[in-house]
Amino acid sequence: MPHDSPRRVPCPDCGQEFSARGLPAHRRQRHGVAPQAPLPTAVPESMVHEILGALELLRGAVERIDERIRVLEPQSPPCESVAQEAQRLERELDVLLEEIGCVQRLASTSGASDPSGPHAVELARLRREQARVVFRLDELAKGVPNEERFLS
Ligand SMILES: [Zn+2]
């Protein structure tokens, strides 16, 4: 039996098996069946998954590019070198630490312990600023931009 040959298909009219390419000619000659215009082929599901996967990859790439642009956009003057930025941040940090010390002394001498009072609010703001500067200095020390975040 020619069933084990995947290229042979049975004729829907007489059941005789023909090669996929020979069948239309057989049907036309033997049964007078005009070959149908091929239907527009639907996109196979495997290809849909492939396309969706590719779109996903593209989206991820665009997001990484966006992030890279955000990192590369200079928050400080573009002519500033890494060393200059580090120096400027060190000065900012010194000032911040002085301000923090100042606010803490004020708070202790005035006996202000209200966690939502002006001293606490200002101290929290200075601490956040300090954290930002320390983080940036750490980034500069390790070399920026940190490439590892783009590899995942
Ligand atoms: Zn036939």
Asked if residue 57 has pLDDT above 90, the reply is no
Give the Å distance between the CA of 12 and the centre of ligand 1. 7
Residues ≥6 apart with Cβ < 8 Å to 126: 96, 99, 100, 103
Asked if residue 111 has pLDDT above 70, the reply is no
Give the Å distance between the CA of 33 and the centre of ligand 1. 10
Contact 122, 101 (CB under 8 A): no
pLDDT of res. 38: 66
Instruction: Report percent pLDDT > 90 for the chain.
Output: 20
Asked if residue 152 has pLDDT above 60, the reply is no
Give the Å distance between the CA of 11 and the centre of ligand 1. 5
Asked if residue 77 has pLDDT above 70, the reply is no
Q: What is the pLDDT of residues 1-34, one digit of tens each?
A: 545 556 788 998 899 999 988 888 898 899 988 7
Residue with tokens 């004020």: 106
pLDDT of res. 90: 93
Asked if residue 51 has pLDDT above 60, the reply is yes
Q: What is the pLDDT of residues 33-45, one digit of tens each?
A: 876 666 666 667 7
Written as one letter, the residue type at 42 is A
Most confident region among 55-64, 93-102, 112-121 by mean pLDDT: 93-102
CA distance 125 to 105: 16
In this structure, the dihedral spanned by the alpha carbons of residues 100, 78, 75 and 126, taken in order and rounded to 10 degrees, is 0
pLDDT of res. 74: 62
Mean per-residue pLDDT, 54-65: 82
Give the Å distance between the CA of 32 and the centre of ligand 1. 10
In SS3 terms, the chain reads as CHHHCCCEEECCCCCCEEECCCHHHHHHHHHCCCCCCCCCCCCCHHHHHHHHHHHHHHHHHHHHHHHHHHHHCCCCCCCCCHHHHHHHHHHHHHHHHHHHHHHHHHHHHCCCCCCCCHHHHHHHHHHHHHHHHHHHHHHHHHCCCCHHHHCC
